Chain A
Amino acid sequence: MKVLKIFVILILVTSFSDLESDEKNDVLKNKILKNIRCLICQGQSVYDSESEFASSIKLIVDRKINDGLKEKQIYKFLREKYGDWVIFDPQLNKNTYVLWLLPLLLFLFGGAIIFKKLNNQK
C-alpha cells in the first residue's frame, strides 16, 4: 500500500513538472511569435497572422524550442533566413546604430542645453 502511495505521488509530481515545462515553452513560444513580423500580411506579427507563412513559422519555432534552442538562437536562425526585417525588435548592429544612439545623443544634447541655461541664470 505504502509503495502504491509513493508511486502515485511520484507520477503526480512528474506529470506536474511536465505541465509546468509545457506552460513555460508556450509562454516563450508566444513571446517569440509576437516579435516576428509576418512577411505576407505586413504590420501583423506571426502570432496574430493566419497566413500560410505564419503557420509555417509557428511550426518552426515550436520545433526549435522543443530542440532546446534559446530565444536568441531562434531569432538568429530567422534573421539568417529573412534578414533583420523579420524581427520587430531590432538588434544593435551597424545598420541600427543611428536608430539606437540618436535618441540618446538628442537626450544628452538637450540636457546639455538645459544645464547651460540653468547655469547662466544663476
Chain B
Amino acid sequence: MKNNFSLFVVVIFFSFCFVIFYKGLNAPNNYTPNVNGKKNIPTFNAKDFYSNNYINSDKIFEDNIFYIINIWASWCVPCRTEHPLLMQLSKNESIKLIGLNYRDNFNNAKKFIDDFGNPYSRILIDNNGTLGVEFGAYGVPETFLIDKNKNIIKKFVGPINQEIINEIKLIIK
C-alpha cells in the first residue's frame, strides 16, 4: 500500500515535470509581440516632417475616425513593398494614415515620398527611435490600427500585404 502510494507520487511528479518541460521547449524562445491587445495611444510631442514644428498627439488624432500609424524609413526595403498598398488604403476616406519616419535622413525620406507617392496625411519624425518605443515598436516596418476611441486595436509587425489591407478595411467598415 505504502509502496503503491510512493509510486503514485513519483509518477505524478515526473508527469508534472514532463508537461512543464514539454510546454517550455515548445514555446517560442524569441520575442513574439502581442498584436491584438487593446492599448491607449501614448501622449507625445513629435516634429512634423515638412514644417519642422512640434505637434502634440491630441492634435494629430483629433478627428473622430480610424487612424493608421505606419513606421517606415527610406532605407527599409520591406517598406517599399508595402508602399503601394498604403497608397491604395489612403484613398479610403474613413481612415487617415500617419507616417512615422524612423531613424532616417530627411533628403532620402523626401526622395522616397516624391518617388513613390505620399499616402500619409501627416508625417512625423522619429530620429532616435524613442517615439517608436512609445508605441511598442521594435523595428521597421510596423503598422498600428487606432480606433475612434483612440485605442491601438491592432499591430502588424513587418510589411503589410493585401490580406492585412482587407482585414483593416473590414474593421473600419
Contacts and interface: CB of A to CB of B under 8 A. Distances in A.
Contacts of B128: 55-56, 59
A53 B31 contact: no
A contacts with B: majority SS: helix
B166 to A, nearest CB: 28
Contacts of A40: 138-139
B158 interface: no
A81 B129 contact: no
What is the interface residue range for chain B against chain A?
A: 10 to 19
B109 to A, nearest CB: 16
A109 to B, nearest CB: 8
Contacts of A56: 128-130, 132-133
A52 B103 CA distance: 9
Nearest to B20: A98
A95 to B, nearest CB: 11
Interface in A72-120: 80-83, 85-86, 98, 102
A81 B136 contact: yes
Interface residues of A, number: 20
B31 A85 contact: yes
A39 B31 contact: yes
B130 A39 contact: no
A86 B32 CA distance: 11
A59 B52 CA distance: 21
A85 B129 CA distance: 20
Interface in B118-148: 128-130, 132-136, 138-139
8 contacts: A37-B31, A40-B139, A42-B31, A56-B129, A59-B128, A63-B130, A81-B136, A85-B32
Interface of A: 37, 39-40, 42, 52-53, 55-57, 59-60, 63, 80-83, 85-86, 98, 102
Interface of B: 20, 29-34, 39, 103, 128-130, 132-136, 138-139
